[in-house]
Amino acid sequence: MIGRLAGRLAEKQPPTLLLEVNGVGYELEAPMSTFYALPEPGQEVVLHTHLVVRDDAHLLYGFFTREERHLFRTLIKVSGVGPKLALTILSGISVTEFARSVQDDDAVRLVRMPGVGKKTAQRLIVEMRDRLPENLYGSGLTTPSAQAGCTAPLPGNARQEACRALEALGYKPPEASRLVNNIDCDGLSSEAIIRSALKQAMK
């Protein structure tokens, strides 16, 4: 099991990033909460990782904090929740907010995320209640803010990159376009646009 990687961030295009470690490029998928905290390409970063082995592929997932990885590992143990949906959940809600939603039986908030229907939301609440450590309910952990890069546009069309990332997270193309079009994207990076779109979707 690959549990941790430290290296140079070579590329980042949500939901995928490339981390170069001793000359080897590791391709990882990560939730938006991790992308918000990443430095600019070329800088060093440490990620906590989880490896999923399938018959047709070995998939590596990266997380900025151990709490994110713990929630991911716990989520994929729930019936009907795979890695893709777990990333969508982590992208749309912070670890603490998810724990509070479970504690408060707030299925309505969970249903706002793509791929989470009423039955899945109820299953998450029931199965996750006894699996989350109590310190998460009041730990104060929040989604890291994207301070760096928010005002400087990335190469290419940040609006299109944001739409593609939202579609990869489970939003249908028309919904992804609607969310992005409701944002003033001038001068924003794709990560900042996605952050605003996800906040809008969760209201």
Among the listed residues 87, 6, 103, the one whose alpha carbon sits nearest the alpha carbon of residue 46: 6
Q: Is the dihedral of CA 16, 19, 24, 29 positive or negative?
A: negative
Tell me the per-residue pLDDT of 19-72, one tens digit each, with 9 for 90 and over.
Answer: 999 999 999 999 999 999 999 999 999 999 999 988 888 899 999 999 999 999
Tell me the per-residue pLDDT of 68-88, one tens digit each, with 9 for 90 and over.
Answer: 999 999 999 998 899 999 999
> What pLDDT does 125 receive?
92
Question: CA angle, 66 as apex, 153 and 194 as ends, to 5°?
Answer: 25
Tell me the per-residue pLDDT of 115-138, one tens digit each, with 9 for 90 and over.
Answer: 889 999 999 999 998 887 665 544
The answer to whether residue 176 scores a pLDDT higher than 50 is yes
15: which 2 tokens?
A: 């939901």
- What DSSP line would sit under the chain, residue for residue? ---EEEEEEEEEETTEEEEEETTEEEEEE--HHHHHH---TTSEEEEEEEEEE-SS-EEEEEESSHHHHHHHHHHTTSTT--HHHHHHHHHHS-HHHHHHHHHTT-HHHHHTSTT--HHHHHHHHHHHTTTS-GGGGGS---PPP--TTSSSPPSS-HHHHHHHHHHHTT--HHHHHHHHHTS--TT--HHHHHHHHHHHHT-
Pick the CATH number of 158-201 from 1.10.150.110, 3.20.20.60, 1.10.1050.10, 1.10.8.10: 1.10.8.10
Region 142-164: what's the mean pLDDT? 53
> What pLDDT does 156 receive?
43
> What pLDDT does 140 receive?
40
* 66-138: in CATH 1.10.150.20: yes
> What pLDDT does 82 receive?
92
Q: The pTM is what?
A: 0.76
Q: Average pLDDT of the chain?
A: 84
Contact 80, 123 (CB under 8 A): yes
The answer to whether residue 167 scores a pLDDT higher than 50 is yes
Domain residue ranges of the chain, discontinuous segments joined by +: 4-63, 66-138, 158-201
CATH class belonging to 4-63? mainly beta
